[in-house]
Copies of this chain bind each other. A is one copy, B any other.
Amino acid sequence: MSAASPLSSVRIVLVQPQHPGNIGAAARAMFTMGLEQLVLVKPRQFPDIEATRRAVGAERVLESARVVDDLAEALKDCHWSVASSARPRHLGDEPLPPAAAAEQLLHASTAGQVALVFGAERTGLSNEEIELCQAQTLVPTNPEYGSLNLAAAVQIYAWELRKAAVAPPQFSLKKDHPWYLPATHEQLELFFEHLERVALATGFLDPANPRLLMRRLRQLFNRARPDRNELNLLRGLLTTVETPKRRGPRPPPPSDSA
């Protein structure tokens, strides 16, 4: 995959994969479709002979795979990420179908790193992990039998990503598009921390009974996909809530007010 390929900014993140064979099969599935960035969050066993055996020629993807301790670390420099999960979402948007997730990932990838995240074989992603991502996706399966193998799920998404990458793009990024200066995952998390501090300070958030307030606010802001300038704007507003800025004639301005 050349550096210019739209797929080169898409990483696949496997959270706590339990079977090394699935890691190898996922690497093979990725590489057949031109994806090369694999990140493993706390794999049970890696490197492993079974992973290498199942990769069959895609060892290069395994060799360059990054192993990290948690999902936040895997997403740190990403500005958009999608969680693959069948977990019902009581709050928030409907999960994206795979083709739509692929299109949006590629669209966002023109501005920086993006990630598609898969959970462990039996347990999937936790709610907390899903909430670290900006969107959720789901492969709609046979209602009688939905047990999609991890590598098979990666294959479906890798295929949809390749189709979307090879098809002429329907969207173009304009300079004034919100993703032009995308916010990184870390910047977004710092904003959420700031928002929570303010919500606690004003008494909006009751630490003894936080309910789902922060989760709902996260979903709202994740849906808007704020860019860096917008995050700066929001954080500026939060800062003035914490420390009001005096304007106009009311109090005498300090001498260095310019």
Question: A28: CB under 8 A from chain B?
Answer: yes
**A247, B206: Cβ atoms closer than 8 Å:** yes
A76 at the binding interface (Cβ < 8 Å): no
Q: Assess the A245–B204 pair: CB atoms within 8 A.
A: yes
Which one of B34, B140, B162, B173 lies within 8 Å of A166 (CB-CB)? Answer: B140
Report yes or no: A178 in contact with B56, Cβ–Cβ below 8 A. no
A9-48: CB near B (< 8 Å → 1, else 0) gives: 0000000000000000100110111100000000000000
Residues of B with C-beta under 8 A to A176: 90-91
Q: How long is the Cα–Cα vector from A230 to B215 in the complex, in angstroms? A: 11
Do the beta carbons of B32 and A145 come within 8 Å of each other?
A: yes
Interface locus among A62-70, A108-116, A149-157: A149-157
**Residues of chain A from 68 to 95 with CB closer than 8 A to chain B in the complex:** 90-95
Please, how many angstroms separate the alpha-carbon atoms of A21 and B42 in the complex?
26
Q: Is A255 an interface residue (CB 8 A)?
A: no
Residue in B142, B146, B171, B230 whose CB lies within 8 Å of A216? B230
Q: Counting CB contacts under 8 A, is A148 at the interface?
A: yes
How many copies of the shown chain assemble into the complex?
2
Indicate with 1 or 0, residue by residue over A198-239, a CB within 8 angstroms of chain B CB atoms.
110111101110000100110111011110011001101100
| Known A-B contacts A202-B240, A223-B225, A224-B221; A152 and B29 likewise in contact (beta carbons under 8 Å) | yes
Q: A160-179: which residues lie under 8 A (CB-CB) from chain B?
A: 162-163, 166, 169-171, 173-174, 176-178
Query: Would you call A220 and B216 a contact (CB within 8 A)?
Result: no
Q: Are A207 and B247 in contact (CB under 8 A)?
A: yes
Min CB distance, A216 to chain B, in Å?
6
| Chain B residues whose CB sits within 8 angstroms of the CB of A199 once the complex forms | 237, 240
A156 to B207, CA, bound (A): 48
Could you tell me which A residues sit within 8 Å of B by CB distance?
1, 25, 28-29, 31-34, 56-58, 90-95, 97-99, 139-142, 144-149, 151-152, 155-156, 159, 162-163, 166, 169-171, 173-174, 176-178, 198-199, 201-204, 206-208, 213, 216-217, 219-221, 223-226, 229-230, 233-234, 236-237, 240-241, 244-248
Known: A25-B152, A58-B145, A140-B171. 13 other contacts (CB 8 A): A28-B147, A31-B142, A31-B145, A94-B174, A97-B170, A97-B171, A98-B159, A155-B155, A201-B244, A202-B240, A202-B245, A216-B229, A217-B233
